[in-house]
Chain A
């Protein structure tokens, strides 16, 4: 009698009729809300309080991040399709959509890694003839830099690498910690999905009767997606659009 998990499986009698593990996942997600809520609160408390270094408007590329956001959003859709296929015993379709979800998740993570690298290597270019009042904090610091600044070099345009890392300023610390932990959650989700994918090739491990296992993974995946929507809105969009920044 091969069972992936011990005890009664999905058909134990419960007081509410809801499966224990489903309830556990919801309780866990409630907790995780508070976790991300605290990280986002920290980010918001420190917004606009960095004393130096790049700010959101200096480094964010909304077009790029919109693509990765879209990919993650679509992965939730493929997740739903995978679950639906499993329920209807369309195993091949199920595997295709499950694999797509995992691949889109990995794509999102790849975008994150790429983006973090770009931030770390961020170069600031300053036009020495631009009015000082229009320069951001970091542009000013490059303009006045003792080695490569406008007065120091006498050039019309100066540049310097002022990367954004977790150590750089308040923005760097809060941003990378928040998005880093989100990325860790996505990674765990991808591992979970890939596990289910490979397990589905073993007879009897992933079946329509045992769709709860996938249902739990899907819940988690959707949660991680929703958290990203919030991060994208509060951190990225509110970070660059006037009136919110």
Chain B
């Protein structure tokens, strides 16, 4: 062992804070992601609440325009990158290995690194509030408003560097899940036997791998302009602000599918389970997801319909955007056909899943309205778009995620949540959501632009803004109910059995919560909905597809904890602060880089502790 460089023995904390800090267990990492992301979701929600209070009626000055602009920028950035994406990651982490019959992910230490880097990025971005002011040019950061001349402080730099850091975290996770899902499936689990959530995760991971580098480049170019006086978006040198928009939205549109596909995957698990029927048209739903991901690369300029691209490019994007509504619609119809003829138990997860369909449909239909570029010229940059976004992202992604939390709560915690409270949670959230966001359709068509900190009293916008604010308060209440339910149930809820829902997929075949090694024996899979097939005795003993497990020869090998993922993350964050507050010679950034490089080497050469 002494012949290996960096031969520090691996940590061995079985419990306590250090066990969480050094963990590489996908289940613990999933919980870390979930709790952290939820806290950030609440922060994003408070940012929204402050905005709504300011906008409740005309000509208020509760919040200054400078602060308001930071609020809406941080709200958008937080909700997308620090809430929805990591909440999805929480599910990827906890659930995927269980659904494919694996003991962990392909790269457990890389997995831990993803989490710590995400946490670092979240802290970095939010520390900007206290370090000179947060970013204030919108979550989409259009040039030239983000130029150093327009925005000389550090706010924009915080935004740029945080997104880069979060990009590293997302990419690391995406690589991990691509390899895990391709390469660690239990014997017999072919692709067409994968649970739908695993499929959607796989597609999302591929989207992440391909989309994030585009925004990485856009952010690099902006940073170069701001820091080194380069000319990418410098109008005086012939630069074109529209280039930023193209780069951003080539990333940005696949990003919205990254946000929604996991939620669709969750719903595709809950509905069959509670309807006691298989997903209607499994193959079609998988194909629709893949087509959405593929076509998602061809629609980006629908975010730019008013940019003056010209009637021909605009028309092309109208067609591609309308086309993408077709596979989306297919999914909705297939979910409904799954419920149809089922024996449906409307427990809380199912309520949320059905709520998802109801609300996402509204968001999808307003999306089709936006796809029509001519009428979109009236809707773009108004509250009509804000309504659309929130119906698909809140009514869609968040509602599905909350449903997923309730659904997998017994498996994760070993306890049952309070069913009555969860049902109340749903209805309060449903009512609050519609109260908050439906009026925004009216406001948008009534000519209210978005991203304005105030409006005049003679515009006629006071009434619906007031209703919307009340709706947000109701929404906030629903989250209080949620938090109380989750916290009290986690502490002292009824003990949960392994399979409280009579589930269909493999995670329900093991204890709640699962042991560290997940499966005592890696299962062999003979059918889709593998666990249901086994329970209902429909197992056909054929030849398992794919490689067999080698565990007959060895005892269970579990990956071992490590310090190094956290160390590399810390190096990265130090570097990041150095890049934000660069002072010409980038010393801090270099120190961070050095720590990171040492950490990477140590990680690569880390020994395995001798088995006990």
Contact = CB atoms under 8 A, between A and B. Distances in A.
Interface of A: 1-8, 12-18, 20, 23-24, 27-28, 30-32, 34-35, 37-39, 41-42, 45-46, 49-52, 166-167, 169-170, 172-174, 177, 181, 195, 202-204
16 contacts: A13-B549, A15-B547, A23-B178, A23-B179, A23-B182, A24-B179, A35-B217, A38-B218, A42-B221, A45-B243, A50-B237, A166-B229, A166-B230, A167-B229, A167-B230, A170-B232
B228 A167 contact: yes
Nearest to B109: A6
Contact of A4 (B220, B240, B605): B605
Nearest to B105: A20
Interface in B314-355: none
A19 to B, nearest CB: 8
A6 B608 contact: yes
B560 interface: yes
B182 A7 contact: no
A21 to B, nearest CB: 8
Contacts of A12: 550
Nearest to B215: A38
A6 B546 CA distance: 25
Contact of B4 (A4, A14, A46): A4
A203 B549 CA distance: 32
Best-buried of A4, A6, A7 by chain B (most CB within 10 Å): A6
A5 B174 CA distance: 21
B231 A27 contact: no
B213 interface: yes
Interface string B164-204: 00000001001100110011110001000000000000000
Contact of B179 (A2, A20, A34, A46): A20
A8 B549 CA distance: 13
Contacts of B179: 20, 23-24, 27
B230 A173 contact: yes
Contacts of B210: 30-31, 34
B14 to A, nearest CB: 18
B178 A38 contact: no
A13 B547 contact: yes
B213 A27 contact: no
Contact of A173 (B3, B4, B178, B231): B231
Contacts of B109: 6
A141 B403 CA distance: 66
A148 to B, nearest CB: 23
Given A7-B608, A30-B209, A14 B547 contact: yes
A7 B549 CA distance: 16
Given A17-B547, A38-B218, 7 more contacts: A3-B4, A3-B608, A4-B4, A5-B605, A34-B214, A167-B231, A177-B232
A6 B10 CA distance: 10
A14 B548 CA distance: 8
A38 B547 contact: no
Contacts of A13: 547-550
A169 B217 contact: no
Given A5-B606, A6-B608, A15-B547, A31 B3 contact: no
A20 B222 CA distance: 35
A27 B604 contact: no
A159 B10 CA distance: 65
B493 interface: no
B238 A169 contact: yes
B238 A50 contact: yes
Contact of B610 (A1, A7, A173): A1
Contacts of A20: 106-107, 179, 183-184
Contacts of B608: 1, 3, 6-7
A15 B209 contact: no
A202 to B, nearest CB: 7
A35 B184 CA distance: 28
Nearest to A203: B3
Contact of A172 (B220, B231, B243, B610): B231
B238 A51 contact: yes
A4 B605 CA distance: 5
Contact of A38 (B209, B214, B224, B550): B214
B221 A177 contact: yes
B220 A6 contact: no
